[in-house]
Amino acid sequence: MSDIDHAYQARFTEALMQAIMTVSLVEEPGQPRTAFVRSAEVIDAMLSMIALLSSTSVETKTPAKTRALCDRLARKLQRLIAAAQRSPSPFETINPELHS
């Protein structure tokens, strides 16, 4: 995980967001195009992909290495969530739990 190709990562992130929006798009006649992103399902699917991709990594060769990787990923995820919560959202949300 240390030698990150940032250009590849940016292209992949853009393609991933495009795929999420494409799958989530709902088009009804007379209504604006809207993407209803089911966060729980998307997160679960991405976790499954992380597990599949990580299973072939040298960083998961032993249970101890797997735990260390999971710990690093958890810390990074916490930082990314906090940063995203501090930033303006790139899209509008209609989640009522976020507006209470």
Q: Give the model's pLDDT for residue 92.
A: 74
- Per domain, the residue ranges of the chain are 1-37, 39-87
Residue 68 belongs to what H/E stretch?
helix 63-86
Q: Which position has the token pair 């960083």?
A: 59
Amino acid at 69: L
Residue pLDDT, tens place only, 52-93: 999 999 999 999 999 999 999 999 999 999 998 898 877 777
Q: Give the model's pLDDT for residue 32.
A: 87
Report the C-alpha gap between 48 and 92 in whole angstroms: 27
Whole-model pTM over 0.85: no
Residue 1 has pLDDT above 70, yes or no: no
Amino acid at 42: V
